[in-house]
Amino acid sequence: MTTAPSPLVPQPFPHQAPLLRVDGLTRHFTVSGTRIDVLHDCTFDVFRGEVVAIIGQSGSGKSTLLSLLGLLDKPSGGEYTFDGVATSRLGEGPRSRLRGEGIGFVFQQFHLLERRSALANVGVPLVLAGMPALRRRSRSRDLLEAVGLGHRLHSKPHQLSGGEQQRVALARALSRDPALILADEPTGALDAESSRMIMDQLLEQARIRDSAVVVVTHDPKVAERADRVVELVEGRTR
Ligand SMILES: Nc1ncnc2c1ncn2[C@@H]1O[C@H](COP(=O)(O)OP(=O)(O)OP(=O)(O)O)[C@@H](O)[C@H]1O
Ligand SMILES: [Mg+2]
């Protein structure tokens, strides 16, 4: 017997399984013998093609939650299912494969290699994926062109503005065509105009690829462009 979804619960994409299923995630840390409970009960789904903003006060656990979603950290309890795979009991090998193939990251501080060109920076995940050099260069060039940096292929990070550096980081995040893009305060170090441009490109590229986006932000202008906002209050989602 099949159970029909409740008509009372809004189903944004009724025919799809969620890409992310976050089910009762908790995370605590122990510092000098004292337990610090950071995440208590985080529960929500994200579907392909959706843009979800995570908001909340400083210290509410947003970056901690994003690390769990990015498979960079493991929860203390609950289950995180990514693309149909329950991850809590997976070993490091399968976790890092899922992460590399399925998730792109954009951080507030860009994290580019200073001595390398934009082209080389975008190609870093493709080196790790074992893509041959010629294909890598051509794919990196296409990605930089897609974010409007076709004229900056050989520039190093210090020769680029903050907004341009973040566009390089975005191209790098997209390089393996991830199903999920995670961004932690991607506009936090940028002026209003660069912020608008980076969000335009993030959302446009996600739409083209039908990727889901989860973006942590303090900026109401960023949050209002999301399809949905998840608020973290003292480690609980609402
Ligand atoms: N590895 C850790 N060990 C101990 N405590 C930690 C660790 N990581 C995070 N915390 C604590 O968890 C809480 C939430 O941190 P987190 O970085 O997730 O907050 P945030 O919501 O991203 O804040 P902000 O908006 O300032 O970036 C903080 O009190 C922090 O000190
Ligand atoms: Mg944070």
Residue 23 main-chain phi, psi, to 5 deg: -125, 95
pLDDT digits (tens, 9 = 90+) for 7-65: 555 566 666 899 999 999 999 999 999 999 999 999 999 999 999 999 999 999 999 99
User: Which atom of ligand 1 approaches the CA of 31 most closely?
Assistant: 4
The parent domain of residue 218 ranges over: 20-237
Task: For residue 12, tell me if it sits in a domain.
Answer: no
Give the residue whose CA is nearest to atom 27 of ligand 1.
Answer: 58
Residue 85 main-chain phi, psi, to 5 deg: -105, 120
Whether residue 8 has its Cβ less than 6 Å from ligand 1: no
Per the domain annotation, does 10 fall within a domain? no
| Spatial separation of the C-alpha atoms in residues 192 and 220, rounded to whole Å | 12
Q: Could you tell me the strand order of the sheet in which 103-107 lies?
A: 85-86, 77-82, 20-31, 34-46, 236-237, 228-233, 51-55, 212-216, 180-184, 103-107
Take atom 8 of ligand 1 and give the residue whose Cα is closest. 64
Tell if the pTM clears 0.75, that is, is over it: yes
CA of residue 146 to ligand 1 center, whole Å: 34
Q: Does 7 map to a domain?
A: no
Burial of 227 (0-12, 13-18, 19+ CB in 10 A): middle
Task: Give the CATH number for residue 111.
Answer: 3.40.50.300
Q: What was the pLDDT predicted at 238? A: 86
Alpha helices in 4-131 (DSSP H): 62-69, 92-102, 118-128
How many domains are there within the chain? 1
Is 181 among the domain residues? yes
32 lines ligand 1 (CB under 6 A): no
Residue 8 is predicted with a pLDDT of 59
From the CA of 216, give the closest atom in ligand 1: 22
3-state secondary structure of 125: helix
Written as tens digits, the pLDDT of the chain (238 aa) is 445 555 555 566 666 899 999 999 999 999 999 999 999 999 999 999 999 999 999 999 999 999 999 999 999 999 999 999 999 999 999 999 999 999 999 999 999 999 999 999 999 999 999 999 999 999 999 999 999 999 999 999 999 999 999 999 999 999 999 999 999 999 999 999 999 999 999 999 999 999 999 999 999 999 999 999 999 998 999 8
Query: In whole angstroms, how large is the CA radius of gyration of the chain?
Result: 18
What distance in Å separates the CA atoms of residue 189 and residue 187, rounded to the nearest whole number? 6
Q: Does ligand 1 come within 6 angstroms of the Cβ of 29?
A: yes
Mutate to test the pocket of ligand 1, among 34, 38, 214, 231 (most ligand atoms within 8 A of CB): 38
The confidence score (pLDDT) of residue 160 equals 98
Q: Whose CA is nearest to atom 31 of ligand 1?
A: 59
The answer to the question of residue 15 being in a domain is no
Task: Answer yes or no: is 133 within a domain.
Answer: yes
Q: Are strands 77-82 and 20-31 parallel, antiparallel or unpaired?
A: antiparallel
- Three-state DSSP class for 206? helix
% of the chain exceeding 90 in pLDDT: 91
Residue 207 in contact with residue 146, Cβ under 8 Å? no
Report the b/e string of 12-46 with b at 16+ CB within 10 A. Answer: eeeeeebbbbbbebbbeeeeeeeeeebbbebebbb
100 domain residue, yes or no: yes
Whether residue 78 is contained in a domain is answered as yes
What residues are paired with 231 via a beta bridge?
Answer: 55
**Both structure tokens of 236:** 């609980």
Torsion sign, CA atoms 166, 167, 171, 174: positive
